[in-house]
Structure 1
Amino acid sequence: MQVRNSPTRYGVISMSLHWLMAIAVYGMFGLGLWMVTLSYYDGWYHQAPELHKSIGFMLMLALVVRLLWRRFSPVPPALKSQSRLTRLSAAAAHIALYAILFAILISGYLISTADGKPISVFGLFDVPALLADAGAQADLAGTVHLWLAWGVVILSVLHGLAAMKHHFIDKDATLTRMLGKASPDSGA
């Protein structure tokens, strides 16, 4: 399997980042929904948010690496068989997914540091708080965080459904390229 992307398929780094981040995002969504239901006396009441923050920071790093990797190893061009509208829709959806993910991670940081305390990442190192004494910041950021999390889940489900449509209805190589298989119908 090739490391870098080629004109006909994604490389192992792009595929790994894509699928690992997808799993992490859905895991974080589930963890976030679950942890807000915990009572103060639950054993996970303090542990779940710390885990959520640590994974969130690692997701931020992975997102930065993913965007840098896209510059170093450009994604395969759209398939020739795809319409202009399909190409524009796909590009807009990818930009929206990246933008929403960044906004979720930034709002999570603002929630976590509103009291001026740093974020401990798995107890290994701390990410400092840039703002302090911002209680209203935490409330607003929490609302934004929740709505954006739902937004990224809905948009990613649509992304997955579009990939399935390409695979089963259009019978093109959109999905198989993200699984490491070469596409004979490549290029712009």
Structure 2
Amino acid sequence: MQFRNSIDRYGAIAILIHWLVAVAVIGLFALGYWMVDLTYYDDWYRRAPDIHRSVGILLLAVMVLRVIWRFINPPPAPLSEHTRLEVLSAHAAHAVLYLLLFVAMVSGYLITTADGSSISVFGWFDVPSVTGQVKGMEDIAGTIHYWSTWAIVVLAGLHALAALKHHVVDRDRTLLRMLGK
């Protein structure tokens, strides 16, 4: 398999980043959904948010690399059997997914750093607050984070259903291309 995308196939780097982001988003959503109900006396009360924040910061770095990679290595052309509506809706869905991912990650960062504290990423390095202390920012950022993550899950679910529709109903190569085949 080639590393770069070609006119008709995704390359190994685009495929790896796609699935890495998918797994991270699913994991972060599940962890976030679970951890909000933890009590102070739960063993995971501090550990779960630390993991969530650390993976979120790493995902932000991967997404920045993904955007750069997409600019220097454009995706394959749409399949000839795709309708104009399918092509336009796929482009729109990808653009909105990217936007929502960045909104979710930035708002998550702002929740934690609203008090001026930094985020430790697995103890490897710290990401400092860029805002300092901003009263009430964590509440606004929390609301944005909540709704943007739910929107990501819904849109990613539609994205997956569309890929399955192409594979099962249309019997085209859309899903296979993202599987490296």
Shift of 1:44: 0.9
TM-score with structure 1 setting the length? 0.94
Shift of 1:133: 2.4
Question: How far apart are 1:4 and its partner, in Å?
Answer: 0.6
Say if 2:176 is the partner of 1:173.
no
**Which residue is 1:70 aligned to?**
70
Per-residue CA deviations over 1:75-132 (Å, capped at 9, x if unaligned) read 0011111111111000000000000000000000100101100111111111110112
Partner in structure 2 of residue 31 of structure 1? 31
Per-residue deviation, residues 140-180 of structure 1 (Å, max 9, x unmatched): 11111011111000000000000011111111111111111
In 2, the alpha carbon distance for the partners of 1:76 and 1:50 equals: 37
Q: Look up the match of 1:6.
A: 6
Q: CA deviation at 1:72?
A: 1.8
2:125 corresponds to 1:128: no
1:153 aligns with 2:153: yes
After superposing the two structures, state which structure 1 stretch, 91-100 or 129-138, moved more: 129-138
Question: Tell me, what secondary structure is at the counterpart of 1:126?
Answer: strand
SS at match of 2:120: strand
Residue 149 of structure 2 aligns to which amino acid in structure 1? A
2:113: which partner in 1? Answer: 113
TM-score normalized with structure 2 length? 0.98
Aligned length: 181
Residues in 2 aligned to 1:8 and 1:133: alpha-carbon distance in whole angstroms: 49
Q: Which amino acid aligns with 1:127?
A: V
CA distance in 1, matches of 2:20, 2:129: 27
Distance 1:28 1:57 in 2: 11
Residue 184 of structure 1 is matched in structure 2 by none
Q: Does 1:43 align with 2:56?
A: no
Which consecutive residues of structure 1, in runs of 5 or more, have no partner in the other structure? 182-188
Residue aligning to 1:186:
none
Alignment of 1:51-66 (within 5 A): 51-66=51-66
CA distance in 1, matches of 2:179, 2:52: 29
> What is the percent sequence identity of the aligned residues?
54
State the match for 1:143 in structure 2.
Answer: 143
1:93 and 1:105 map into 2 onto residues whose CA distance is 18
Q: CA deviation at 1:52?
A: 0.6
Give SS of 1:170's match. Answer: coil
Gaps of 5+ in 2: none
Asked which structure has the greater RCO (Cα within 8 Å, sep 6+), the reply is 1
Question: For the residues of structure 1 that align with 2:165 and 2:88, how far apart are their CA atoms?
Answer: 16
- The one-letter code sitting in structure 2 at the alignment partner of 1:7 is I
Secondary structure class of the residue paired with 2:169: helix
Q: Find the aligned partners of 1:36 and 1:135 in 2 and give their Cα distance.
A: 21
